[in-house]
């Protein structure tokens, strides 16, 4: 429960309050008003809910529907003139985050919070951190692939970083379940739309940056994308940064007065003796490590997670055990066909991550390579050119272009756009299962490989705005082993 006086105090203290507009209702004495729920979904309101009006696509009908269910108050950036009192604010997203913190009892103060940002690697690094902290602590995790608030039950999140009301609700559940730490992925979108406004992280980790999520409904430019990712550093007590990432000098200057660790070639925390399933580290993590996920970039993610967890109470032994135990659904999963050929299933869904994936596979598999790939519809359009230009440099790879969450676009039109940048022949098969089957057919000995990129462990295809059931890349590959 939260009293209206508390709501108004929070808004005034943070410069967000404008006025209360009371259109002839009977709430002349506001001091006796309180709310037993908060929501931004008009379908989930009750008589004593405080409803937040947010979103560019919000319609007045949603508010009228909520009022028909008994809603008595709402909070918005404008007066919708619907006959109930309105709290008018300057910024609804900021207001929602700050009020949610208070409503759920400020759970962020009862957890050690570790956040990862980066164009790629957030989920893998989060899994490493979860397994490290699970050795002697009780972590919760909010991840794109799997979320757990009790360490036992895992479910897939709808968003990389949940809306603020959902986020603080989940944090409160984690506290109730006796969790001591929270590991989460923080997207650039989370800062762009203020899902984590007012939240301070104990440790923030910046893994890398490359052009992605740039388009009409996301970030207008790389500069804007980078700026919003850097806000995590500004809102963290201590930071861990990859010294080999693009634009490192900007970050290095930004965090010089903060507690920080760097890793990579411009630091003392480096990777040595890198092999497929082991590596050595220098610096704070000095020692030898076993790892199940192949690829140097996964070893970098492990080091980033290790340095962050060291600041949160993990021992070197915890870090070694946690790294060795980590597997990630849809991240460098490896299957073997009866003929010995390998199948690599990975979430690589932009040009940079696909380039790294191909490089890793070609290091270990020197035979024929087939690649199954699509690109999402109605978002991340710049990836299509990136894919095409990259694959044009790899005429040795047999490419099968197919569907990957086409949404409202024709998957073959997306395939045509990718292939327009490729000068050698490619196969185009709209049905993803048929594309996977066709790619597997052309590999026949143990040095051959099929790379299935993009969807990872997702068990759906987004078509016409809806999630359609899809068995998943691994399940389909297993049918044809």
- On whether 43 is known to bind a ligand per the annotation, the reply is no
Nearest CA-CA partner of 42 in 58, 65, 59? 65
As a whole number of angstroms, the distance between CA 122 and CA 116 comes to 6
As a whole number of angstroms, the distance between CA 199 and CA 168 comes to 10
Nearest CA-CA partner of 34 in 44, 48, 47? 48
- On whether 144 is known to bind a ligand per the annotation, the reply is no
- On whether 472 is known to bind a ligand per the annotation, the reply is no
Q: Is the dihedral of CA 192, 157, 457, 136 positive or negative?
A: positive
| Radius of gyration for the chain, computed over Cα atoms and rounded to the nearest angstrom | 24
- Which residue in this structure is represented by tokens 């209206």? 4
As a whole number of angstroms, the distance between CA 150 and CA 162 comes to 17
- On whether 179 is known to bind a ligand per the annotation, the reply is no
- On whether 351 is known to bind a ligand per the annotation, the reply is no
- On whether 124 is known to bind a ligand per the annotation, the reply is yes
In the structure encoding, which two tokens stand for residue 377, read together? Answer: 């519809």
- On whether 200 is known to bind a ligand per the annotation, the reply is no
As a whole number of angstroms, the distance between CA 176 and CA 182 comes to 13
- On whether 156 is known to bind a ligand per the annotation, the reply is no
| H or E element that contains 453 | strand 449-453
- On whether 42 is known to bind a ligand per the annotation, the reply is yes
As a whole number of angstroms, the distance between CA 316 and CA 295 comes to 22
As a whole number of angstroms, the distance between CA 424 and CA 398 comes to 9
- On whether 327 is known to bind a ligand per the annotation, the reply is no
Annotated binding-site residue numbers: 42, 118-124, 160-161, 187, 195
Annotated binding-site residue numbers for ATP: 118-124
């Amino acid at each position: 429960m939260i009293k209206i006086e508390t709501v108004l105090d929070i808004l005034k203290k943070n410069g967000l309050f404008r006025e209360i507009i009371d259109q002839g209702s009977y709430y002349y004495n506001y001091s006796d008003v309180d709310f037993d729920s908060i929501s931004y979904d008009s379908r989930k309101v009750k008589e004593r809910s405080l409803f937040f009006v947010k979103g560019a696509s919000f319609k007045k009908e949603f508010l009228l529907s909520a009022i028909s269910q008994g809603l008595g108050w709402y909070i918005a950036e404008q007066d919708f003139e619907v006959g109930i009192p309105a709290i008018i604010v300057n910024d609804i997203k900021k207001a929602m985050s700050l009020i949610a913190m208070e409503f759920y009892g400020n759970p962020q103060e009862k957890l050690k919070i570790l956040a990862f940002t980066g164009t790629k690697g957030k989920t893998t690094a989060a899994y490493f951190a979860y397994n490290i902290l699970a050795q002697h602590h009780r972590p919760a995790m909010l991840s794109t692939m799997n979320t757990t608030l009790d360490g036992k039950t895992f479910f897939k999140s709808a968003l990389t970083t949940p809306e603020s009301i959902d986020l603080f609700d989940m944090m409160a559940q984690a506290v109730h379940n006796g969790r001591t730490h929270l590991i989460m992925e923080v997207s650039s979108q989370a800062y762009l739309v203020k899902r984590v406004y007012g939240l301070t992280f104990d440790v923030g980790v910046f893994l890398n940056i490359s052009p992605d999520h740039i388009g009409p409904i996301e970030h207008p430019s790389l500069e804007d994308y980078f700026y919003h990712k850097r806000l995590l550093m500004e809102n963290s007590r201590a930071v861990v940064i990859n010294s080999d990432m693009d634009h490192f000098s900007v970050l290095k200057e930004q965090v010089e007065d903060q507690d920080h660790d760097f890793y990579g070639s411009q630091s003392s925390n480096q990777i040595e003796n890198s092999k497929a399933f082991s590596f050595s580290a220098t610096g704070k993590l000095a020692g030898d490590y076993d790892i199940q996920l192949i690829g140097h970039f996964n070893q970098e993610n492990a080091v980033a997670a290790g340095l962050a967890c060291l600041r949160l109470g993990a021992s070197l032994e915890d870090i070694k055990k946690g790294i060795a135990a980590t597997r990630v659904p849809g991240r460098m999963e490896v299957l073997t066909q009866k003929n010995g050929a390998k199948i690599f299933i990975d979430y690589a869904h932009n040009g940079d991550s696909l380039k790294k994936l191909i490089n890793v596979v070609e290091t270990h598999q020197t035979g024929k390579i087939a690649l199954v790939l699509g690109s999402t519809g109605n978002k991340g359009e710049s990836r299509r050119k990136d894919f095409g230009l990259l694959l044009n440099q790899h005429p040795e790879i047999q490419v099968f272009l197919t569907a990957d969450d086409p949404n409202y676009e024709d998957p073959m039109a997306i395939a045509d756009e990718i292939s327009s940048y490729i000068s050698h022949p490619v196969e185009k098969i709209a049905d993803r299962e048929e594309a996977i089957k066709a790619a597997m057919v052309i590999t026949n000995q143990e040095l051959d490989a099929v790379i299935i990129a993009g969807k990872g462990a997702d068990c759906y295809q987004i078509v016409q705005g809806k999630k359609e059931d899809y068995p998943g890349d691994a399940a389909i590959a297993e049918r044809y082993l």
